[in-house]
Structure 1
Amino acid sequence: MMKLTFILGLICAVCSEGFGQHAAYFDSLVHQKTELPIAFDLRETGMLSPVRVQPSGGCWISASNASIESFWRKSGKEGIRLSDKNPLLYSGFDESRKSNGNHFMVTAVYSRRDGPLPYNPEMDTLPQKNPVLPAVLTDARYLPDSAELIKSVIRDFGGVYSMMYHSKNKGLDTITDIYYAPKKKINHVVCLVGWNDTLETQWGRGVWIAQNSLGTRYADGGFIYIPYQDELILTENACWPGWTDYNPNTQLYYYDTLGSQRSYGFDNPLSYGMVKYTA
């Protein structure tokens, strides 16, 4: 098994941004109250891409791409494997972030059209100028800590990026593949792909089914089962439900070459801010 480096310094927020053609449909369906099954598993639908082996420190990009690929497969856009290594190496962020990241950074990199890139072992470690993209992502949704909402998204659209605590040395029951390591600090990301409300664990009833990024030799073919009682799972969640076909003749206009990666708010409907430019 490869040596792992986990993400640190995550930002907590709940917001939604975007303007893509699929987002309105996503928003309209995801808020409808529908009866959910007691168990659901995307592995049984054929809508998941193969389990990944993340680049060192790259769980944030691997989990994001797993979620994006499952959304695409669910909508009929199949057979595309995205690069994990290239956006990790050329995110544009500070060097210290080359092995640490989050969903805000994924949105920043992809919204400026530096990805998502198709996997190409000959090009993955090289910078790419004006790359041809399999699709242009137009939307991000940062989802709240709502089990019902997360389940609806998984069932109707695809896997959900979700943060957790993970230790390579403890937490995994190698017989049941249940993972539970109580901790107060998030350091890892997985892609939630299902649930089982009836599965009993020593902590209670019910588990999330998560696609990890540590290869197929880890746990249940690369999947783990996280008890609902885990204190950190669902605290930070994301998906990217909007995209459009890539058109090389379109022009993206912007002045922030890095991209938005955090937001601020106040408990007041009237707020002020200033952006200062140097002439």
Structure 2
Amino acid sequence: MKEPIHRKMGFSFVFLMMSLSFFFAFSISGDPGPQVHRAPERAPVPPPVIVPLTLEEIREMIRLNRYNYTVGDTWLSQLSPAEMASLLGYVPPRMDLSHLSEVESDRAPPPPPPSAYDYRSMGMVTPPKDQRNCGSCWCFAGTGMFESRILIEGGPEYDLSEENVLSCNIFNAGCSGGNDFIVTTYLTKYGGSLESCAPYDGTDGTPCADCDIMKRLCGWRIVGSNLDSEDPAKILVVKDALLRFGPVFVSMNASAPGFSLYTGGVFEYWVNGSVNHTVLIVGWDDSLVHSHGTGAWIVKNSWGTSWGENGYFKIAYGSANICEYVSAFTCTAGYDYRETLYYYDEHGWQGSFYSNEYDTWGAVRFVPTENGALERVEFWAVDDMLNYEIYVYDTRSGSSPYTFSGLLSSQSGTVTKAGYYSVELTTKPQITAGDDFIVAVRFNTPNFQYPVPFDDYNPISGQSYSSSDGSTWYNLSQEGHNWDIGIRAVTQQPVSTFADYPGVFSTNSYFVVGNNAYCTDVLGTGKISFGLAAGGVTENPEGRTHTILTTTEHDTGNLIPVGGPAINPVADEFDSIFGITFEYYAGVSFEIFCEGESIYLDLTQYPSEDICIVYLGNESSRNVMLVWGYGWQGSYAGSTFMGDPLTWQTYQDAHMLMLRWTDSNADGLVQMSEITVEVYA
């Protein structure tokens, strides 16, 4: 089993794939053995049946049925039926989801949607990609949905790596198929990284790449199952999800004759079949005509832009079993090096149990590795109506049964669809490294008797507890139940802000430039020195190049690296630690990314325009402030800005600035009046 080796949040464990048989829900108590509730056995999914009709036979079928789409030779025309079947990689989730409903019971009916809607016209859909001869459609649909959700939340357009999700997921799901549960489990733990770091290979066995995290997934919900219908009410459920959350992940039957050869129009196929492919619905149009009437979904596929309508297709509502299963991403979070995600449910939601039907408490004990504040609690909701109560305790006493005491924080709420949720705590207790804390959640699901989510893959942590009343707690492992409960905790280390600058560089501080630094990088350190002195610092930081900086100075000193990663290895090192990345296309563009924000430079405007990032961070109990831009002008603009207390004091509550310098008087020099702050956090 492969484990990601890129930097990730929280604990990581290597898990072994165990038995494929599955007990969905269990009843437990303190003494007797488990009363097993076995899920209905899922019949093995047969391989897709590809009917090898010729192009002319398909055209005749279209004519006879008066279908409204066209076909032609595509790159899939050359594939054998077996090769075509290998592209269809949707494997249904392990869980029995038959208890879930399509409609949120406590939500008022949504207003009538518009007759047409298309996220492409809003710039909220990234370009279609090509999964090639690999059953990785599930990975492309999930990653594409993640990219769109980031755009909808106001983030930059990322080209995220499908390969890392494909090769590094804990289930070892690859070209043989997967689903959105696997994508969600991966992205909630490890987040998404750039395609440029881990390019798509499209084969099994590709090693995991060590990549920086751009964003992490913090919200996912199951919209519904069995929505593959012409029923207006079911169509409305999918439209409502699209309007609320963005493009949605859906399953369909792609074995339908003619689909692989589709070149345009409204695809339709009305023979019921097994779903075997996943795609991304990005919009709809009620006016599109087909043999059953009007109305079609607009869909992004993963067979390249030479297929279909530049990689997209339109399909009649309910046709080819599209929307048999639908899910949506609802929340993303920028990568923050200060945060740590603690969890033991490495495989996510794999089943659920109760000790008191419909209303059971679950708890997980964590031992933090760093000081900080407990910011959020995250968990899986296994039913469409969940009332939760969160309690954070400081102390565990006894020995199965246990008691928890020292309440640090509590709050409650309700979620109305099964999925993954992140709850920001109103009271954020301080956490001390090495001092354990317990997160307990009361799961109340009025319509489903097995409310507590668990992961039953080995190895098991032994840190999960259950209670029927919230007072007396049993350790699941000690009671013979090898499960890890799906409760997670997100902590955040304390951070310096510009309110602390320049005092944090008053002693044991060093400017660091690259051996081949621009002279303006050195001059920039003088600008910053002036700002430090104006802020009351009496001991000026000493200057170093990256090679004469001693090991002790590097490991313990407060550092101010000036100049970009291309010429300053120390800047490159701390960029990686703080999650600062960039994308460079020679002669075209340069873009800096950090904490879900970005700043873009059109290189046709350089050298009359440049950009810069200033980042104040903490690492190993010392402070580091990075100042660098694309060219020397950007780095010097950042140094000039940080040399003037009247400017940086305006952003005293921030720790990151993204600046743009524009040579407004065309003299080639950097003046303060030409510098603007575009992003701060």
Q: Is the 8 A contact 2:161 2:198 kept in 1?
A: no
2: CA distance, partners of 1:62 / 1:85: 9
Matches within 5 A, 1:192-207: 192-207=281-296
- Sort the Cα spacing of 1:86 and 1:202 in 2 relative to 1 into closer, same or farther, 3 A: same
- Sort the Cα spacing of 1:253 and 1:73 in 2 relative to 1 into closer, same or farther, 3 A: same
- Say whether residues 1:118 and 2:194 are aligned partners: yes
Residue 93 of structure 1: aligned partner? 171
Q: Is the 8 A contact 2:90 2:251 kept in 1?
A: no
What is the identity, as a one-letter code, of the residue corresponding to 1:159?
Answer: P
Residue 328 of structure 2: aligned partner? 239
CA deviation digits over 1:117-148, x for unaligned, max 9? Answer: 2212556644246x531112111111023322
2: CA distance, partners of 1:215 / 1:105: 23
Q: Is the 8 A contact 2:266 2:289 kept in 1?
A: no
What is the identity, as a one-letter code, of the residue corresponding to 1:127?
Answer: C
1:61 aligns with one of 139, 152, 162: 139
**What is the deviation of 1:35?**
2.7
Matches within 5 A, 1:112-191: 112-113=189-190, 115-120=191-196, 125-128=206-209, 131-144=211-224, 145=227, 146-167=234-255, 170-171=258-259, 174=262, 176-181=264-269, 182-191=271-280
TM-score w.r.t. the length of structure 2 is: 0.35
Q: Is the 8 A contact 2:116 2:285 kept in 1?
A: yes
**What is the deviation of 1:189?**
0.6
Q: Is the 8 A contact 1:71 1:241 kept in 2?
A: yes
What is the identity, as a one-letter code, of the residue corresponding to 2:179?
Answer: N
For structure 2, list consecutive stretches of 5 or more residues without a partner in the other structure.
1-74, 77-82, 201-205, 228-233, 353-381, 384-444, 453-475, 484-681
**What is the deviation of 1:82?**
1.1
What is the identity, as a one-letter code, of the residue corresponding to 1:139?
Answer: G
1:254 aligns with one of 331, 343, 366: 343
CA deviation digits over 1:8-39, x for unaligned, max 9? Answer: 431363799xxxxxxxxxx9xx9662231111
Q: Is the 8 A contact 1:15 1:141 kept in 2?
A: no
Which structure has more relative contact order (CA 8 Å, sep 6+)? It is 1
- Say whether residues 1:43 and 2:120 are aligned partners: yes
1: CA distance, partners of 2:197 / 2:265: 31
**What is the deviation of 1:40?**
1.2
- Sort the Cα spacing of 1:242 and 1:136 in 2 relative to 1 into closer, same or farther, 3 A: same
Structure 2 SS opposite 1:138: strand
**What is the deviation of 1:66?**
1.2
Matches within 5 A, 1:201-220: 201-220=290-309
Q: Is the 8 A contact 1:6 1:57 kept in 2?
A: yes
2: CA distance, partners of 1:7 / 1:222: 18
For structure 1, which segment, 30-39 or 52-61, has the greater mean C-alpha deviation from structure 2 after superposition?
30-39
Residue 24 of structure 1: aligned partner? none
Q: Is the 8 A contact 1:15 1:143 kept in 2?
A: no
What is the identity, as a one-letter code, of the residue corresponding to 1:178?
Answer: V
What is the identity, as a one-letter code, of the residue corresponding to 2:254?
Answer: H
Residue 490 of structure 2: aligned partner? none
Structure 2 SS opposite 1:72: helix
Residue 23 of structure 1: aligned partner? none
Q: Is the 8 A contact 1:161 1:191 kept in 2?
A: yes
- Sort the Cα spacing of 1:230 and 1:137 in 2 relative to 1 into closer, same or farther, 3 A: same
Q: Is the 8 A contact 1:64 1:161 kept in 2?
A: yes
**What is the deviation of 1:48?**
0.8
- Sort the Cα spacing of 1:148 and 1:210 in 2 relative to 1 into closer, same or farther, 3 A: same
2: CA distance, partners of 1:65 / 1:253: 23
Q: Is the 8 A contact 1:147 1:234 kept in 2?
A: no
Q: Is the 8 A contact 1:108 1:261 kept in 2?
A: no
**What is the deviation of 1:268?**
6.6
1: CA distance, partners of 2:180 / 2:116: 27
Residue 71 of structure 1: aligned partner? 149
What is the identity, as a one-letter code, of the residue corresponding to 2:150?
Answer: W
- Greater per-residue strand proportion: 2
1: CA distance, partners of 2:145 / 2:451: 36
- Sort the Cα spacing of 1:243 and 1:175 in 2 relative to 1 into closer, same or farther, 3 A: closer
2: CA distance, partners of 1:170 / 1:208: 17
What is the identity, as a one-letter code, of the residue corresponding to 2:135?
Answer: G
Q: Is the 8 A contact 1:177 1:219 kept in 2?
A: no
2:92 aligns with one of 3, 10, 24: 10
What is the identity, as a one-letter code, of the residue corresponding to 2:97?
Answer: A
Q: Is the 8 A contact 1:39 1:197 kept in 2?
A: yes
**What is the deviation of 1:180?**
2.6
2: CA distance, partners of 1:247 / 1:200: 48
Structure 2 SS opposite 1:177: strand
What is the identity, as a one-letter code, of the residue corresponding to 2:114?
Answer: P
Q: Is the 8 A contact 1:54 1:84 kept in 2?
A: no
Structure 2 SS opposite 1:199: strand
Residue 317 of structure 2: aligned partner? 228
**What is the deviation of 1:43?**
1.7
What is the identity, as a one-letter code, of the residue corresponding to 2:295?
Answer: G
CA deviation digits over 1:87-125, x for unaligned, max 9? Answer: 111212146x54210111111111222x32221255664
What is the identity, as a one-letter code, of the residue corresponding to 2:170?
Answer: G
Structure 1 SS opposite 2:319: coil
**What is the deviation of 1:57?**
0.9
Q: Number of matched residues?
A: 263
Q: Is the 8 A contact 1:204 1:229 kept in 2?
A: no
**Structure with max Cα Rg:** 2
Structure 1 SS opposite 2:296: strand
- Sort the Cα spacing of 1:161 and 1:261 in 2 relative to 1 into closer, same or farther, 3 A: farther
CA deviation digits over 1:165-199, x for unaligned, max 9? Answer: 10386236746432234342010011001111121
